[in-house]
Structure 1
Amino acid sequence: MKIAIVGGGLQGIEIVYLAQQAGYEVLLVDKDKSAPALNLVTEYLICNLVEEEGQFLEGVKDVDLIFPATENDAALATLRRICSKIDLPVLFDWQAYQISSSKERSKQFFIENNIPQSKSWPEADFPVIIKPSQASGSEGVYQVDNQQQLTEVLSTLEEPIIEEYLVGPSYSIEVIAIRGQVFPLAVTYLDFDQIFDCKRVIYSGQIEEWLEDELANICTKIAQRLSLEGIMDLEVIVSKEGIKVLEIDARFPSQTPITVFYGTGLNMVEMLVELTVGQYEEVNLTNSERAVIYEHIEVQDNRLTVCGEHIMAEADNLIIKDDFFGATKVLTNYDPEGGEWIATLIFVADSLNEVFRKRNQTLTEIFNQHQLEEFSDPTIFD
């Protein structure tokens, strides 16, 4: 099996890693010679899909399917047009993505289908969260506490979404749906930095059963109402008023699939591919007892900082290493000769207590060995 992954950014890293774990051959396509995922593959095609359509078609002539890993509208539109003319499966739901890629359209979908969500302004009182309708993840997200701040932020944004600021733990769940079969997957816990970017994902078999069941029901309902053909992730917050859906994304996510893979053995890339080609016979969704922490760090100016995923988006020369200062796996541009570097650390253990012990021991080892002076793990409450 050979797959073409279009896009070498954060989604591309995730798909490349899991595709290789599944034993697939990978062709990575990106217009940027320094795309973060490029160093992780042995075969790649530097190609601007929008401007070099012929080169792209020649490059993918020996692949079995195409896996979009980009949110570039022009590239996706070109890919959709091209693939309507060639006999290659494309693992992407264009219709569902049009809804999920717009926070405004998503909120309207939630209203029409009675999906629990946060209150919108002006029903919501301060503090509120402001975010652009079309941006992905934490990009352009602001918290404002009064009318003056609200006015200032609104002057810089077009078509913003304004919602109540909810307090409570955040969780994510993926759902895969192919030809009417709907498979809600594992629940992960999300931790955020001070700019609302996810810095840490935690998997544990200790998630309460009622929460797992409710999230599975919600994402199944959404997948069915969207007539989903592919993968979607769902982010929620459990507030004092109950579960509220924050957003959906009908494209392959980053961070959570690798976390789930190490926690349960379930490979979402492999599952999607085999469901698409009709070879997937059984889905084992029984939670493993393993615990996983997946988080990002930056070492700079004698300081170790736990950061949101954005630090990996512009990285180059990334490599994968085992047993990195005690971490089970690492994706990093670490240079033992010194200098600034970043890393995604993956810790796997038999219990939540043990995985946090490993994590703390690794961070301490990095801090001491590099003779650093400061440690920071900022949160949205800082």
Structure 2
Amino acid sequence: MKKVNVLISGSGSLYGVAIIQSLLQSDLSLNLVACDTSVRTLGLYLAHQAYIVPPAQQEEQYLTSLLDIIAKENIHAIFVASSHELAFYSHNKLEIEKKTGVKVFTNLPETMNICNDKWRTVNFLKEHGFYFPITIRYPEDKDKIDEFIKEVQFPVIIKPRQGAGSQGLYIVNQYEELQPLLENKQDILLQQYLPDDCGEFTTGICTGTNGRVLSGITLKRYLQEGMTMSADADDFMEITDYCKEVARVLKPYGPCNFQLRLLNGNPYIFEINPRFSSSTGMRCLLGVNEAEILIRAEVLGEAIDQTKILKCSVIRQYTDYLVPTEKIIRLQKEFNIEQKN
């Protein structure tokens, strides 16, 4: 088996550390190369090699640094672990792959636009015959608010068209609460409230070339400030199979996460995140190592067997790591980074 050189970009994020830890558990022969903008990010010290790069918003400088790392380390695959870098990799994916032959596990702008804009997400689901929460826009559809409320009844959800987690999301129980939340606002959605009687679910689907489904796992999740802090894995195959069908139509590339609730026993997706999830590490513990699966399928060309998923619960607890100060100082000197007080 050949050694595969893997770059984890944005390696200090929750996703980045989870990807690195997942790959360290793999039986594959891997050389893990981490890059980040700060020397004080954990992923740099868990991986085998570490690089400091400029922010991805400085596109020219970032691309130059990235191509240098790819050439020096003979990189075969790139995992994007920072939400701040997704736009850069999406727009430059084809150029990077053409120049270097590297597999970049992220999506093209067309797919990102469908997922990042929740109005487009709803319309994608609607157009392809999938379940979707009834949704209107504000201010574009403000004359439809009365009709919308009559159809879905209170409570209703107010949330921004773009954004992740629970930031800017409100549950509204009566008319009097609506106007203060909508006043002088743009790019807002009013959406049917999906009951949480059965809980909330997150389904992770990994896809390869042309939307080929490689793996799927559904967790019933328990949230704190929009993040999964605990999850149950059980017999959720109907939900997983449904999300696989959605993925086959959407055709994302790499990891993709579907957030949903059940209404009348049917899965209603209300958010699609085309990236690694905060539950990436949980999934690995339960038997679905998404990063390894992508390397085996897309880099090594191996067939992927259906993974047996543990029926268990996972509770997240953050861990502190000791890092020798000399390593931090060495990295600062290597990349000419000034020490900050």
TM normalised by structure 2 equals 0.76
For residues 38-187 of structure 1, the aligned pairs below 5 Å read: 38-48=44-54, 49=56, 50-52=59-61, 53-61=63-71, 62-72=74-84, 74-77=87-90, 79-80=92-93, 81-94=95-108, 95-121=110-136, 122=145, 123=148, 124-155=152-183, 157-168=185-196, 169-179=199-209, 181-187=212-218
Query: What is the one-letter code of the residue matched to 2:320?
Result: T
Q: Are the equivalent residues in 1 in contact too, given 2:297–2:304 (CA < 8 A)?
A: no
Aligned twin of 1:227: 251
Tell me, which stretches of 5 or more residues in structure 1 are unaligned?
Answer: 297-329, 335-382
Q: Counterpart of 2:221?
A: 190
- Whole-angstrom CA distance in 2 between matches of 1:229 and 1:74: 14
**What is the one-letter code of the residue matched to 1:332?**
D
In structure 2, what is the equivalent of residue 242 of structure 1? 266
Match for residue 25 of structure 2? 21
Q: Aligned partners of 1:106, 1:32: CA distance in 2, in Å?
A: 34
Q: How far, CA to CA, are the matches of 2:98 and 2:180 in structure 1?
A: 45
Alignment size in residue pairs: 292
Q: Do the aligned partners of 2:135 and 2:192 also contact (CA within 8 Å) in 1?
A: yes
Counterpart of 1:218 (choices 219, 233, 242) is: 242
Offset of residue 184 of structure 1: 4.5
SS at match of 2:286: helix
Supply the AA of the counterpart residue of 1:188: L
| CA–CA separation in structure 1 for the residues paired with 2:242 and 2:174 | 33
In structure 1, distance between residues paired with 2:267 and 2:303: 33
* Cα 1:170–1:156 shift into 2, 3 Å: farther
Instruction: Indicate the RMSD between aligned Cα atoms, in angstroms.
Output: 2.6
Q: Deviations over 1:308-330 (max 9, x none)?
A: xxxxxxxxxxxxxxxxxxxxxx5
| CA distance in structure 1 between the aligned counterparts of 2:155 and 2:42, rounded to whole angstroms | 36
Query: Quick one: which amino acid aligns to residue 188 of structure 2?
Result: P
State the distance in 2 between where 1:77 and 1:286 align.
Answer: 32
Q: Using the alignment, how far apart are the partners of 2:258 and 2:185 within structure 1? A: 25
Tell me: CA distance 1:131–1:56, structure 2 relative to 1, closer, same or farther (3 Å).
Answer: same
Structure 1 stretch 134-143 or stretch 77-86: which is displaced more? 77-86
Contact (CA 8 Å) 1:191, 1:199: kept in 2 or not? Answer: yes
Cα contact 2:14–2:278 (8 A) shared by 1: yes
Match of 1:31 in 2: 37
Instruction: Supply the distance in 2 between the matched residues of 1:109 and 1:227 (Cα, whole angstroms).
Output: 12
Identity, in percent, stands at 19
Distance 1:102 1:14, change over 3 A: farther
Separation in 2, partners of 1:157, 1:34: 38
When residues 260 and 60 of structure 1 are mapped into structure 2, their CA distance, relative to the original with a 3 A threshold, is same
Which deviates more from structure 2 when the two are superposed, residues 266-275 or residues 166-175? 166-175
- Aligned partners of 1:199, 1:251: CA distance in 2, in Å? 15
Q: Give, in angstroms, the shift of residue 240 of structure 1.
A: 4.3
Residues 132, 157 of structure 1: 8 Å contact kept: no
1:99-156: per-residue Cα shift (whole Å, max 9, x none)? Answer: 1122111111011011112222442332222222221232322222233432222236
3-state SS of 1:107 partner: helix
Quote the Cα distance in structure 1 between the aligned partners of 2:178 and 2:41: 36
SS of residue matched to 2:83: coil
The change in CA–CA distance for 1:77 and 1:184 in structure 2 (over 3 A counts) is closer
Q: Distance in 2 between matches of 1:204 and 1:130?
A: 30
Would you say the 8 A contact 2:213–2:244 is kept in 1? yes
Task: Report the alpha carbon displacement of residue 270 of structure 1 after superposing the two structures with TM.
Answer: 0.4
Alpha-carbon separation, structure 2, partners of 1:244 and 1:109: 13
Aligned to 1:279, which of 301, 304, 307? 301
1:259 maps onto 2:282 in alignment = yes
Q: After the TM superposition, which segments of 4 or more aligned residues of structure 1 sit over 4 Å from their partners?
A: none
Answer whether contact 2:89 2:106 (CA < 8 A) is retained.
no
What is residue 378 of structure 1 aligned with on the other side?
none
| Length-normalised TM-score, structure 1 | 0.69
Structure 1 window deviating more from structure 2 (218-227 vs 30-39): it is: 30-39
Deviation string for 1:337-358 (max 9, x for gaps)? xxxxxxxxxxxxxxxxxxxxxx
